[in-house]
């Protein structure tokens, strides 16, 4: 068994914190194992002046780490599942899905302001968020804001934004949930597929000591269903498709949002059933939502 492993991570504070969460859990489960975190800049982190859709999407956050994993520079990589592309290389499977952190989205106001007034500007580059928040704040407008959590909070403070929307999971991991002024329920704002779950990627066939302690089967069921929904709708990285699945005992309940490009309308719906059938149920929900247009 290996006694020293390297975890690859993006450089942002959140990415490093996420890698630490996995490092601590693995070290705790396997006494004698030591883990080092190796950070690297990805193309997605370097190019901030263009929208993700224009520069090639989510793959840009994982490409460099995939390469390092393939050539042995690192042994594992940790990603927010929601940032992972739909196609994951066969030789680099996800070997664990962590227990889910709070999947909800949250509103953060510009420091010094007490509430979001009519005409307020909400910073968000996520159409999933702006579409759903548009129903809650019909008098507000939306303006792109890109960058990691810290960058966005800096822009919120110093640029022309009154509020922004971020994942509560990231804020909690960074100890910043105190900034939140409103948490959206999963019905008000269906989360992005995988939000709150970390995916640990490894090399096919390689045993990682302690990995079972990091893996959560309910997260795995949720991940399969949510990503199944997105895959069916070919949501890729840029479409505002949203999916959130919750398990309880043997049941799974899946919420999904389908956006119809031509009309700009969206429909949300829910389906439940046996959790082992999550992917099929998710597809059925996707098909029925799509069929409404
Ligand atoms: N796209 C950035 C990103 N990727 C994952 C998270 C949050 C952490 C998670 O979903 O586990 C965030 C920040 C955000 O959306 O506010």
Q: Give ipTM to 2 decimals.
A: 0.95
Atom of ligand 1 nearest to the CA of 196: 11
Nearest-CA residue for atom 11 of ligand 1? 196
Please give the positions annotated as active site: 83
Closest CA to 131 of 268, 32, 226: 268
Q: What pLDDT is recorded for position 262? A: 86
Quick: pLDDT tens for 179-222.
Answer: 999 999 999 999 999 999 999 999 999 999 999 999 999 999 99
Write out residues with Cβ below 6 Å of ligand 1: 80, 82-83, 149, 166-167, 169-170, 195-196
Atom of ligand 1 nearest to the CA of 105: 16
pLDDT-based confidence at 239, cuts 50/70/90?
confident
Q: 190 is written with which tokens?
A: 């269906």
Burial level of 107, CB count in 10 A (0-12/13-18/19+)? buried
Exposure of 212 in the CB half-sphere (CA atoms within 13 A)? 1
Q: How far is the CA of 138 from the centre of ligand 1 (A)?
A: 25
Q: 71 is written with which tokens?
A: 């050539």
Lowest mean pLDDT among 77-91, 104-118, 154-168, 226-240: 226-240
Closest CA to 199 of 13, 4, 21: 21
Q: What pLDDT is recorded for position 153? A: 97
Residue owning tokens 């693995």: 26
Quick: pLDDT tens for 74-96.
Answer: 999 999 999 998 889 999 999 99
Query: Ligand 1: which of 100, 167, 180, 184 to mutate, most ligand atoms within 8 Å of CB?
Result: 167
Which residues are registered as beta bridge partners of 149?
A: none
Strand (E) or helix (H) holding 214 = helix 211-214
């Amino acid at each position: 068994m290996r006694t020293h492993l390297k975890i690859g991570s993006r450089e942002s504070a959140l990415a490093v914190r996420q890698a630490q969460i996995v490092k601590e859990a693995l070290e705790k489960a396997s006494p004698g194992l030591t883990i080092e975190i190796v950070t690297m800049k990805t193309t997605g982190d370097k190019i901030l002046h263009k929208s993700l859709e224009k520069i090639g999407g989510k793959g840009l956050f994982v490409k460099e780490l995939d390469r390092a994993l393939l050539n042995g520079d690192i042994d594992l990589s940790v990603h927010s599942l929601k940032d992972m592309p739909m196609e994951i290389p066969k030789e680099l499977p996800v070997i664990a899905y962590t227990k889910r952190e709070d999947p909800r989205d949250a509103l953060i106001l510009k420091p010094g302001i007490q509430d979001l007034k009519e005409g307020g500007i909400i910073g968000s580059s996520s159409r999933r968020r702006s579409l759903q928040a548009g129903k809650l704040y019909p008098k507000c407008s939306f303006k792109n804001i890109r960058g990691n959590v810290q960058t966005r909070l800096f822009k919120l403070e110093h640029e022309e934004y009154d509020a922004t929307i971020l994942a509560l999971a990231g804020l909690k991991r960074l100890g910043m949930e105190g900034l939140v002024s409103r948490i959206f329920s999963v019905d008000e704002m269906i989360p992005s597929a995988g939000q709150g779950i970390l995916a640990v990627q490894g090399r096919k066939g390689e045993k990682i000591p302690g990995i079972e302690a990091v893996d959560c089967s309910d997260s795995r069921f949720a991940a399969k269903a949510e990503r199944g929904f997105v895959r069916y709708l070919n949501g890729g990285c840029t479409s505002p498709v949203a999916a959130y699945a919750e398990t309880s005992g043997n049941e799974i309940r899946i919420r999904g949002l389908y956006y119809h490009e031509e009309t700009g309308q969206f429909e949300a719906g829910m389906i439940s059933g046996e959790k082992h059938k999550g992917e099929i149920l998710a597809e059925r929900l996707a098909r029925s939502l799509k069929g409404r247009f």
